[in-house]
Amino acid sequence: MSSAIMETQTTDARSIHLTFSTAEEIHTGLESAVNELIEAAVEEGNCGIRVTRHEPGAYTVALDDSVPFGETYEDIAA
Protein backbone atom coordinates (compact mmCIF):
# COMPACT_ATOMS: atom_id res chain seq x y z
CA MET A 1 0.00 0.00 0.00
CA SER A 2 1.31 3.42 -0.99
CA SER A 3 1.22 6.41 1.31
CA ALA A 4 1.58 9.07 -1.41
CA ILE A 5 0.96 12.65 -0.37
CA MET A 6 -0.15 15.48 -2.64
CA GLU A 7 -0.31 18.95 -1.14
CA THR A 8 -2.45 21.59 -2.85
CA GLN A 9 -2.10 25.25 -2.06
CA THR A 10 -4.44 27.53 -3.99
CA THR A 11 -3.52 31.20 -3.92
CA ASP A 12 -6.49 32.45 -5.93
CA ALA A 13 -9.06 31.36 -8.51
CA ARG A 14 -6.49 31.78 -11.30
CA SER A 15 -3.74 29.46 -10.04
CA ILE A 16 -3.15 26.23 -8.16
CA HIS A 17 0.16 25.36 -6.52
CA LEU A 18 0.88 21.64 -6.14
CA THR A 19 3.55 19.65 -4.34
CA PHE A 20 3.87 15.90 -4.90
CA SER A 21 5.81 13.41 -2.84
CA THR A 22 5.87 10.63 -5.47
CA ALA A 23 6.14 10.55 -9.25
CA GLU A 24 3.08 8.31 -9.51
CA GLU A 25 0.71 11.04 -8.32
CA ILE A 26 1.95 13.83 -10.61
CA HIS A 27 -0.10 12.95 -13.72
CA THR A 28 -3.37 12.56 -11.83
CA GLY A 29 -2.81 15.67 -9.73
CA LEU A 30 -1.91 17.89 -12.67
CA GLU A 31 -4.80 16.56 -14.73
CA SER A 32 -7.21 17.34 -11.91
CA ALA A 33 -5.84 20.89 -11.52
CA VAL A 34 -6.02 21.56 -15.27
CA ASN A 35 -9.62 20.31 -15.38
CA GLU A 36 -10.50 22.62 -12.50
CA LEU A 37 -9.00 25.64 -14.27
CA ILE A 38 -10.64 24.78 -17.61
CA GLU A 39 -13.93 25.82 -16.02
CA ALA A 40 -12.45 29.17 -14.97
CA ALA A 41 -10.89 29.67 -18.43
CA VAL A 42 -14.26 29.09 -20.10
CA GLU A 43 -15.84 31.71 -17.83
CA GLU A 44 -13.14 34.27 -18.74
CA GLY A 45 -13.02 33.21 -22.39
CA ASN A 46 -9.75 34.98 -23.18
CA CYS A 47 -6.90 32.92 -21.72
CA GLY A 48 -5.40 29.46 -21.69
CA ILE A 49 -3.62 27.42 -19.04
CA ARG A 50 0.10 27.23 -18.24
CA VAL A 51 1.60 24.35 -16.24
CA THR A 52 4.99 25.25 -14.75
CA ARG A 53 7.40 22.83 -13.09
CA HIS A 54 9.43 24.76 -10.52
CA GLU A 55 11.48 21.85 -9.19
CA PRO A 56 10.97 18.09 -8.90
CA GLY A 57 7.51 17.60 -7.44
CA ALA A 58 6.53 21.30 -7.34
CA TYR A 59 4.16 22.71 -9.97
CA THR A 60 1.87 25.65 -10.62
CA VAL A 61 -1.18 25.37 -12.87
CA ALA A 62 -2.47 28.83 -13.78
CA LEU A 63 -4.67 30.78 -16.15
CA ASP A 64 -2.37 32.78 -18.41
CA ASP A 65 -3.38 35.63 -20.74
CA SER A 66 -0.38 34.89 -23.01
CA VAL A 67 -1.67 31.37 -23.72
CA PRO A 68 -4.41 31.24 -26.37
CA PHE A 69 -7.90 30.27 -25.18
CA GLY A 70 -8.41 26.50 -25.39
CA GLU A 71 -4.70 25.64 -25.16
CA THR A 72 -2.44 24.42 -22.37
CA TYR A 73 1.31 25.15 -22.38
CA GLU A 74 3.96 23.48 -20.25
CA ASP A 75 7.09 25.18 -18.92
CA ILE A 76 10.06 24.34 -16.72
CA ALA A 77 11.17 27.26 -14.54
CA ALA A 78 14.86 27.96 -14.81
The pLDDT assigned to 8 comes to 54
Give the pTM: 0.82
Provide φ and ψ at 5, rounded to 5°.
-125, 130
Please give the distance of CA 33 from its chain centroid, rounded to a whole number: 5
The predicted pLDDT at position 12 comes to 64
pLDDT tens digit at each of 78 positions of the chain:
333 445 555 556 789 999 999 988 999 999 999 999 999 999 888 999 999 999 999 999 999 999 999 999 999 986
3-state secondary structure of 68: coil
Helices (H), 1-78: 26-44
Q: How high is the pLDDT of residue 10?
A: 52
Greatest CA separation for the chain? 43
State how far the Cα of 47 lies from the Cα of 70, in Å rounded to an integer.
Answer: 8
Query: Tell me, what's the pLDDT at 44?
Result: 85
